[in-house]
Chain A
Amino acid sequence: DGGITQSPKYLFRKEGQNVTLSCEQNLNHDAMYWYRQDPGQGLRLIYYSQIVNDFQKGDIAEGYSVSREKKESFPLTVTSAQKNPTAFYLCASSGSGQETQYFGPGTRLLVL
C-alpha cells in the first residue's frame, strides 16, 4: 500500500530528554512537512523539506530539528529546548508541484 507512516503512535518524553518521531513515505514525493497541532487549533508548520539534504524552518521551528538523508524519510527530533512539546504531530508529503498534501496518522507526544 502506498502512503505515509508515522511512529510511534504515542510517545512519552521525560524532562530534559530528546525524542525522535519517525515519518516514512513510499509515494515517491519530493516534499515532506512536519506540523504541530494543539487541542482545538489548526496546524502550524515546524519544518519542511523540498529535496533530499535540504530543509527549511517553518513558523515554529525553535526547539525542533530535522534531517532528510533519504527521500522516503523525514524524522523530527523534539529537543529539550522545546519547553511545551505536548501536542499532536503530523507529517505530510506532496509532489514537486507543492500541490496536494497527504498526511500520516500522527504521533501524540506527552510529557511525563
Chain B
Amino acid sequence: GIQVEQSPPDLILQEGANSTLRCNFSDSVNNLQWFHQNPWGQLINLFYIPSGTKQNGRLSATTVATERYSLLYISSSQTTDSGVYFCAGNQVGNDMRFGAGTRLTVKP
C-alpha cells in the first residue's frame, strides 16, 4: 500500500511565527486530506486537496500531484494551533493511508 511520510515529526514555534509542514506519498493519490487533531483527540478537517492550492484564513495548502507531495502552511501561528497535523491519502477503491503526524507546539 501507499506509504505516507510527514515532516518534521515535531515543531516548536513562538506565537506569531510561520511554518510549513510537508507530506510525501510513495505513489500517486486521488484523494488527499489534511487534519488537525486537537488535544482532546478530535480530528478536524482542514483541507480536501488532491491537487492545487487552497486557503482558509491563516492556513493554506498546496498539493503537487505529479511530484506526490503536499504542503500545509500556517501563518501567524496561535497557541490554539497546537496539536498534531495529519495528512492522509488514497487511490480510488483503496483505503485511506495516514502519516504519523507532525506535532506542533506554539508557545505564547
Contact = CB atoms under 8 A, between A and B. Distances in A.
Given A43-B86, A105-B41, A99 B95 contact: no
B98 interface: yes
Interface of A: 33, 35, 37, 41-45, 48, 58-59, 88, 90, 92, 98-103, 105-106, 108
Interface residues on B, range: 20 to 34
A72 B31 CA distance: 24
Given A42-B86, A100-B33, A105 B42 contact: yes
B92 A106 contact: no
A69 to B, nearest CB: 23
A43 B98 contact: yes
A82 B44 CA distance: 28
A103 B43 CA distance: 6
A22 B41 CA distance: 17
B73 interface: no
Contacts of B48: 99-100
Interface in B69-108: 86, 88, 90, 92-93, 95-96, 98-101
